Amino acid sequence: MTTQVIRRLLQTIPTLIGVSIVLVLIFHLIPGNFVDSNPTISKERAAELKEMYGLTDPVHIKYLKWAKGVATGDLGYSIQHKQPVTTIIDRYVWNSVLIAGVVLIFSWTIAIFVGVFSAVRQHSFYDGLITFLVFAVMSLPSFFIGLLAIKFFAVDNRIFPVGGMITTGANYEGWAHIWDVIEHMFLPVIVLTALNVGGLTRYFRTSMLDVIKQDFIRTARAKGLKERTVIFKHALRNALIPAITLLGFEIPGLFAGAMITEKIFNWPGIGSIFLNAINARDYFLMLGYTFFIAFLTIIGNVIADLLYRVADPRVRMK
Amino acid sequence: MANNLIEFRNLRTNFYTSSGVVKAVNDVSFSIREGETLCVVGESGCGKSVTAMSLMRLVSPPGKTEGGQILYKGQDLLTLKERDMRHIRGNEIAMIFQEPMTSLNPVLTIGDQITEPLLIHKGMTRKDAKKRAIELIELVGIPRAAKIFDSYPHELSGGMRQRIMIAIALSCDPKLLIADEPTTALDVTIQAQILDLMRNIKSEFNTAIMMITHDLGVVAEMADHVVVMYAGKVIEEAPVHELFANPKHPYTQGLMRAKPIINQRQDRLYTIPGQVPNPVELGNNCYFNERCEHCMSLCVEKPPILTTYENKHKAACWLYEKGGEVS
CA–CA separation, B207 vs B199, rounded Å? 10
Q: Which of B88, B112, B234 is nearest to B167 (CA)?
A: B112
For chain A positions 128-187, those within 8 Å of chain B (CB to CB) are: none
Q: Do B105 and A220 touch (CB under 8 A)?
A: yes
pLDDT band at B23 (very low <50, low <70, confident <90, very high): confident
- Region B107-112: what's the mean pLDDT? 88
Q: Say if residue B148's pLDDT is above 80.
A: yes
Contacts of A216 in chain B (CB under 8 A): 102-106
Q: Is the entire prediction scored with pTM above 0.90?
A: no
CA–CA separation, B247 vs B240, rounded Å? 10
> Of the candidates A47, A74, A101, which is a domain's last residue?
A74
Residues A202 and A247 in one domain: yes
Selecting from A219, A224, A314 the residue whose C-beta is nearest the C-beta of B103 gives: A219
Provide the shortest C-alpha distance from residue A266 to chain B (in Å). 45
| pLDDT value for B286 | 82
Residues A217 and A107 in one domain: yes
Distant-in-sequence contacts of A12-21, Cβ < 8 A, 24+ apart: A12/A298, A12/A299, A12/A302, A15/A298, A16/A294, A16/A295, A16/A298, A19/A291, A19/A294, A19/A295, A19/A298, A20/A63, A20/A66, A20/A67, A20/A70, A20/A291, A21/A63
- The full length of chain B comes to 327
Q: Do B168 and A314 touch (CB under 8 A)?
A: no
The residues of chain A scoring below 70 in pLDDT are: 317-318
Range of the domain at A208: 90-311
| pLDDT value for A103 | 92
Residues A174 and A282 in one domain: yes
Q: Do B117 and A219 touch (CB under 8 A)?
A: no
> Of the candidates A74, A102, A119, which is a domain's last residue?
A74
Write the CB contacts of A295 (distance below 8 Å, at least 6 apart in sequence): A16, A19
| Segment B80-95, tens digit of pLDDT | 888 888 888 888 888 9
- Left (φ > 0), alpha (ψ -120 to 50) or beta: where does B27 sit? left
DSSP state of B78: G
Looking at the domain assignment, is residue A2 inside a domain? no
Q: Which of B245, B99, B209, B95 is nearest to B161 (CA)?
A: B99
Selecting from A214, A215, A218 the residue whose C-beta is nearest the C-beta of B58 gives: A218
DSSP state of B89: B
Residues A35 and A179 in one domain: no
| Segment B246-287, tens digit of pLDDT | 888 888 888 888 877 777 777 788 888 887 887 777 778 888
Q: Do B120 and A225 touch (CB under 8 A)?
A: yes
Residues A122 and A208 in one domain: yes
Contacts of B116 in chain A (CB under 8 A): 223, 225
Interface of B with A (CB under 8 A): 56, 58, 86-91, 94-95, 97, 99, 102-109, 116-117, 120-121, 152, 154, 165, 168
CA–CA separation, B181 vs B212, rounded Å? 5
Provide the shortest C-alpha distance from residue B266 to chain A (in Å). 39
Q: Is the peptide bond preceding residue B62 cis, with omega within 30 degrees of 0?
A: yes
- Region B23-29: what's the mean pLDDT? 84
Looking at the domain assignment, is residue A85 inside a domain? no
Contacts of B95 in chain A (CB under 8 A): 222
| pLDDT value for A223 | 87
Q: Rounded to the nearest 5°, which phi and psi values hold at B214?
A: -120, 20
Given a contact cutoff of 8 angstroms between Cβ atoms, the answer to whether B217 and B259 are in contact is: yes
CA-CA distances (angstroms) from residue B66 to A102, A283, B13, B40, B45?
49, 73, 6, 21, 19
**How many domains does chain A fold into?**
2
Given a contact cutoff of 8 angstroms between Cβ atoms, the answer to whether B28 and B234 are in contact is: yes
DSSP state of B209: E
Provide the shortest C-alpha distance from residue B210 to chain A (in Å). 15
Contacts of B88 in chain A (CB under 8 A): 224
| Segment A256-282, tens digit of pLDDT | 778 888 888 888 888 888 888 888 888
| pLDDT value for B231 | 84
For domain B4-92+172-320, the question of CATH label 3.30.530.50 is answered with no
Q: Do B107 and A312 touch (CB under 8 A)?
A: yes
DSSP collapsed to 3 states, chain A: CHHHHHHHHHHHHHHHHHHHHHHHHHHHHCCCCCCCCCCCCCHHHHHHHHHHHCCCCCHHHHHHHHHHHHHCCCCCEECCCCEEHHHHHHHHHHHHHHHHHHHHHHHHHHHHHHHHHHHHCCCCHHHHHHHHHHHHHHCCCHHHHHHHHHHHHHHHCCCCCCCCCCCCCCCCCHHHHHHHHHHHHHHHHHHHHHHHHHHHHHHHHHHHHHHHCCHHHHHHHHCCCCHHHHHHHHHHHHHHCCHHHHHHHHHHHHHHCCHHHHHHCCCCCHHHHHHHHHHHCCHHHHHHHHHHHHHHHHHHHHHHHHHHHHHCCCCCCC
CA–CA separation, A212 vs A177, rounded Å? 47
| pLDDT value for A317 | 55
How crowded is residue A31: how many other Cβ atoms within 10 Å of its Cβ? 6
| pLDDT value for B323 | 52
Residues A49 and A196 in one domain: no
> Of the candidates A74, A106, A123, which is a domain's last residue?
A74
Residues A205 and A251 in one domain: yes
Contacts of A308 in chain B (CB under 8 A): none
Residues A101 and A50 in one domain: no
Task: Estimate to the nearest angstrom the gap between the alpha carbon of B81 and the chain centroid.
Answer: 24
CATH number for position A159: 1.10.3720.10
Write the CB contacts of A69 (distance below 8 Å, at least 6 apart in sequence): A75, A76
| Segment B203-241, tens digit of pLDDT | 888 888 899 988 888 888 888 889 988 888 888 888 888
Looking at the domain assignment, is residue A79 inside a domain? no
pLDDT band at B322 (very low <50, low <70, confident <90, very high): low
Given a contact cutoff of 8 angstroms between Cβ atoms, the answer to whether B76 and B6 are in contact is: no
Write the CB contacts of B60 (distance below 8 Å, at least 6 apart in sequence): none
Residues A96 and A157 in one domain: yes
Report the SS3 class of residue B243: helix
CA–CA separation, B100 vs A119, rounded Å? 25
Domain residue ranges in chain B: 4-92+172-320
A226 has a chain B CB within 8 A of its CB: yes
A121 has a chain B CB within 8 A of its CB: no
| Segment B164-212, tens digit of pLDDT | 888 888 888 888 889 888 887 778 888 888 888 888 888 888 888 899 9
Q: Do B116 and A311 touch (CB under 8 A)?
A: no
Contacts of B103 in chain A (CB under 8 A): 215-216, 218-219
